[in-house]
Structure 1
Amino acid sequence: MIRFRADPGGDQFYALKTFRADGSAAITPIWLAPVGSGWFGYTPARSWKVRRIERNPQIELAPCQFDGTPLSEWRRGRAGILPTRLRGEATRALRRKYGRKFDVFALTLALGRPRRHGGPAVGLAIRLDGETPEPNPAGRRPSALEPAPADTPPRPDGPSRRGPRRGGPSPLDVAVFLDELLLLAAYAVGGARSVDGPVAGVLLAFALPIGAGLVWGRWLAPRARHRLGRTGALAVKLTLFTAAAGLLAATGLSPWAIAFWAGSLPLVIASERRR
């Protein structure tokens, strides 16, 4: 029986064969990372393969080339959609295997969310036939693909399982928070000064900070449901701060723009390095 390489330097692409309602097969190349005795993937929620898996969890899998051409025999298995609270396991496993390439991929999925077949990203869990769950050493938390022991209490969602945070905010926390407020203020001031007429100025003074806040809350906030990885978050933050500084400079506030950008850059980098 062919066994896939389960190390981080193993196969890069996998052909995932899912089945339509009429029984015909559809093959999609996908990234997968090994976790325990199974595999995790990451894909848009409205993609066709997700719909086919929800209707029929039977799948076949094989290592493949970039275009989906299989490189070995197909192996049968079952696939399912991970609960939202377990999606972090999939992203961590994929980031360990693919590194920054996965961060770029996750950012691409986030930007393509409005597409018809986009939507929020979901995690895929795949177990191949004949694979048995690995033993669970004492003290190791079972993965999403492994059954939890009967005496294991259910894991709570979100960061609450880590308990309350001790101590007050650090000086860096305060500086980063104030810098984020300055970001919104920069968009408001730049928007108000970028057009003629009080009505249009007021509208832009509200619209630009709201837009920046929506982006921040969606992909950058600590408790965002679709929070980007470190590389993706750093790229988006630098884009937001650079755009705000450019808006200030374009409206005749170049000294303020330079000071704002020079002060924000080290704070953005420091906040992401601390994650």
Structure 2
Amino acid sequence: MTVPADIAASKQISLTTYRKDGTPVATPVWHVADGDTITTVSSADAWKVKRLRRNAQVEIVRCDVRGKIDPDARPVRGTATLLPPSETEAARRLLESRYVSARIGGTLTRLLHIKRPAGIGIVITLQPES
């Protein structure tokens, strides 16, 4: 399944991960769509990453910067894969190619040799609709 056009075109998506007890937790994130995958980057010690280590099942839907979801937006299920550190930098560069703020931050970090907090790339593979 390819990424739906409304999700690919949106600036943010709401990424829903699940707690141990199954409670959904939604977080707005930047993303880059490519074919049937969505790529994002998060802090390695973020709660969403900890939840993904237990349960890779996710749901994504387009949203605004504050995480507000349009009533007509259609959620899509997927499976998240956490990238190794060697591939996380490539994921950061993907985000920099789409978002000016990420590009500025990434460039300054590299120019000034600022140590970034540990990050982790997340690739979401969409599940075919049933």
CA distance, structure 1, for counterparts of residue 105 and residue 17 of structure 2: 22
Q: Is the 8 A contact 2:79 2:126 kept in 1?
A: yes
> What is the Cα deviation at residue 64 of structure 1?
0.1
User: Once the two structures are aligned, what percentage of the paired residues are identical?
Assistant: 28
> What is the Cα deviation at residue 83 of structure 1?
1.3
1:127 has 2:128 as partner: no
Match of 1:60 in 2: 59
Structure 1 segments unaligned to the other structure (5+ residues): 114-119, 132-275
Give, as a single letter, the amino acid of the residue that structure 2 aligns with 1:88.
Answer: E
> What is the Cα deviation at residue 3 of structure 1?
1.5
CA distance, structure 2, for counterparts of residue 105 and residue 121 of structure 1: 14
Structure 2 segments unaligned to the other structure (5+ residues): none
Greater strand fraction, Structure 1 or Structure 2: 2
Match of 1:94 in 2: 95
> What is the Cα deviation at residue 91 of structure 1?
1.9
Match of 1:24 in 2: 23
Give, as a single letter, the amino acid of the residue that structure 1 aligns with 2:32.
Answer: A
1:3-14 equivalent positions in 2, closer than 5 A: 3-5=4-6, 10-14=9-13
> What is the Cα deviation at residue 37 of structure 1?
2.1
Spell out, residue by residue over 1:10-31, the C-alpha distance to the aligned partner (whole angstroms, 9 max, x if none). 2101000000001101010000
TM-score by length of 2: 0.80
Q: Is the 8 A contact 1:61 1:76 kept in 2?
A: yes
Match of 1:81 in 2: 82
Spell out, residue by residue over 1:169-201, the C-alpha distance to the aligned partner (whole angstroms, 9 max, x if none). xxxxxxxxxxxxxxxxxxxxxxxxxxxxxxxxx
CA distance, structure 1, for counterparts of residue 48 and residue 93 of structure 2: 22
Give, as a single letter, the amino acid of the residue that structure 1 aligns with 2:128.
Answer: G
> What is the Cα deviation at residue 111 of structure 1?
7.0
- Paired residues in the alignment total 120
**Structure 1 residues 111 and 64 mapped into 2: Cα distance closer, same or farther (>3 Å)?**
farther
Q: Secondary structure of 2:52's match?
A: helix
Dislocated runs of 4+, deviation >4 Å: 104-107
Q: Secondary structure of 2:5's match?
A: coil
TM-score by length of 1: 0.40
Spell out, residue by residue over 1:82-129, the C-alpha distance to the aligned partner (whole angstroms, 9 max, x if none). 11222233122212211x31135555xx7773xxxxxx0111111111
**Structure 1 residues 64 and 111 mapped into 2: Cα distance closer, same or farther (>3 Å)?**
farther
Q: Is the 8 A contact 1:19 1:25 kept in 2?
A: yes
Q: Secondary structure of 2:26's match?
A: strand
Q: Is the 8 A contact 1:35 1:93 kept in 2?
A: no
Greater helix fraction, Structure 1 or Structure 2: 1
Give, as a single letter, the amino acid of the residue that structure 1 aligns with 2:93.
Answer: R
Q: Is the 8 A contact 2:6 2:62 kept in 1?
A: no
Give, as a single letter, the amino acid of the residue that structure 2 aligns with 1:61.
Answer: I
CA distance, structure 1, for counterparts of residue 57 and residue 18 of structure 2: 8
> What's the Cα RMSD here?
2.5
Match of 1:209 in 2: none
Give, as a single letter, the amino acid of the residue that structure 2 aligns with 1:3.
Answer: P
Q: Is the 8 A contact 2:43 2:120 kept in 1?
A: yes
**Structure 1 residues 86 and 36 mapped into 2: Cα distance closer, same or farther (>3 Å)?**
farther
Q: Secondary structure of 1:66's match?
A: coil
**Structure 1 residues 41 and 24 mapped into 2: Cα distance closer, same or farther (>3 Å)?**
same
**Structure 1 residues 6 and 15 mapped into 2: Cα distance closer, same or farther (>3 Å)?**
closer
Give, as a single letter, the amino acid of the residue that structure 1 aligns with 2:53.
Answer: E
